[in-house]
Amino acid sequence: MRKILIVSLIALFASCEQENDQGYHISGTVENASEGQMIIISELNDTNTQTVPVDTVTVTDGKFEMDLPEKESPAISFLTLDGMRGNILYIADNTPIKFKIYTDSIYASEVTGGKDNEILYTYLGTIKSTNKKMGENRVAMREAFSQMDSVQLESLQQNQEQIMEEDKGNKIALVEKNPNSLVSVMVLQDMVNTQMYPASKLRELFDNLDPEIKETSLAQQLDETLTNLSRTDVGSPAPEFSAPTPNGEDLALKNVMGKVTLVDFWASWCKPCRVENPNLVEVYKKYHDKGFNIIQVSLDRPGQKEKWMQAIEEDNLGAWNHVSNLMFWQDPIAADYGVRAIPAAFLLDENGNIAAKNLRGEELEEKVSELVSE
């Protein structure tokens, strides 16, 4: 059995009465669990970058229960069965929490107790329902495309857009309705990652959260992200940067500016990025002579320069400029641009101001055509 670091935050000399009044209690059942199987409780660390074990309990006769330290503020927590992949997400908010764990389908396990968990699992259920609708609609779109049914395909595309708009509305409504819940911070972070909401709207929703929620480390991190996003609103000057090229030379954005310039964040490991690359090639061929330039910023991992260079060659991207710090998600350029997911793209006008964000396909070509013609 692997060794687990156990960090106990319960005061050693607390009286029995104090233990009953403080902290929170978890209990539950585990279907088909091994007798004595260990359950590990973890939380996100202060930087929200990794989980830290807090305590453990063993399963007896298919059941478990334990008391955990009082939380100063709600915390994102995880329950893991030793020896099994996956975990169960929950919010620790000093209320009793019950689990019904299914070892054959860990993600189908049930969590009850506490307002935050009710909000969380309602939200997760909505996400699941939305993903199912979108998946079924995509299947129908592929079928319509294969049968060259343009009328049906257009109808399904409109339906897909409607599903996405409903999802956006549901997220906004949840945050507005629950300003005192940590789940609202989690939803706002999801909204940031989708890159489908203006930074001004995200800032408005964040500013309306309760002060206590804003003091959590997750909220403070989100606040910093939103501040960076506001720096890259449409109309704002694009943050200047420089980074190494594949040849190891330092290249600055100001040295590659054209009449229109695309700053494109990607990586060799990013499939959606690789799918979009052929479109970039075509737009570049069509408009480069009219003043369109591209600089791609790769978020490839440390020590994987060869994969980055190989992807440039495989996708025929050698006609324009490339830079990378090979720092994965710790890349400082991505931080300055508020990039939390890729692909991410910023289209700059001749003055270096951001004219559009995250355009792809026909939308990108149309905007480039418009700008180079001005």
* pLDDT the model gives residue 204: 96
Residues whose CB is less than 8 angstroms from the CB of residue 48 and which lie 6 or more positions away in sequence, other chains included: 76, 217, 218, 221
Q: Which two tokens stand for residue 12?
A: 């050693």
Which one, of 89, 94, 87, lies nearest residue 115 by Cα? 94
Which H or E run includes 363?
helix 361-373
Which one, of 244, 229, 218, 224, lies nearest residue 302 by Cα? 244
pLDDT digits over 262-285, tens only? 999 999 999 999 999 999 999 999
Mean per-residue pLDDT, 112-127 = 94
Compute the distance between CA of residue 47 and CA of residue 49 in angstroms, rounded to an integer: 5
Given a cut of 50, is residue 1 above it in pLDDT?
Answer: no
Task: Give me the sign of the Cα torsion angle 35, 44, 7, 118.
Answer: negative
Q: Identify the band that residue 19 occupies on the pLDDT scale cut at 50, 70 and 90.
A: very low
What is the reported pTM? 0.71
Q: Identify the band that residue 229 occupies on the pLDDT scale cut at 50, 70 and 90.
A: confident
Compute the distance between CA of residue 3 and CA of residue 303 in angstroms, rounded to an integer: 30
- Structural domains of the chain in order of their starting residue, each with its CATH number: 16-112 (2.60.40.1120), 116-231 (no CATH), 242-373 (3.40.30.10)
* pLDDT the model gives residue 22: 61
* pLDDT the model gives residue 334: 94
pLDDT digits over 178-196, tens only? 999 999 999 999 998 887 8
Q: What are the residues facing 64 on neighbouring strands? A: 28
| Percent of the chain with pLDDT strictly greater than 70 | 94
pLDDT digits over 50-109, tens only? 889 999 999 999 999 999 999 888 899 999 999 888 999 999 989 999 999 999 899 899
Mean per-residue pLDDT, 16-32 = 70
Q: Identify the band that residue 199 occupies on the pLDDT scale cut at 50, 70 and 90.
A: confident
Q: For 197, which DSSP code?
A: S
Kind of pairing, strands 321-323 and 292-298? parallel
pLDDT digits over 343-366, tens only? 999 999 999 999 999 999 899 999
Given a cut of 80, is residue 21 above it in pLDDT?
Answer: no
Given a cut of 80, is residue 320 above it in pLDDT?
Answer: yes
Given a cut of 80, is residue 6 above it in pLDDT?
Answer: no
Given a cut of 90, is residue 233 above it in pLDDT?
Answer: no
Residues whose CB is less than 8 angstroms from the CB of residue 302 and which lie 6 or more positions away in sequence, other chains included: 326, 327, 328
Q: Which residue has the higher pLDDT, 18 or 200?
A: 200
Mean per-residue pLDDT, 315-339 = 94
Given a cut of 90, is residue 237 above it in pLDDT?
Answer: yes
Given a cut of 90, is residue 173 above it in pLDDT?
Answer: yes
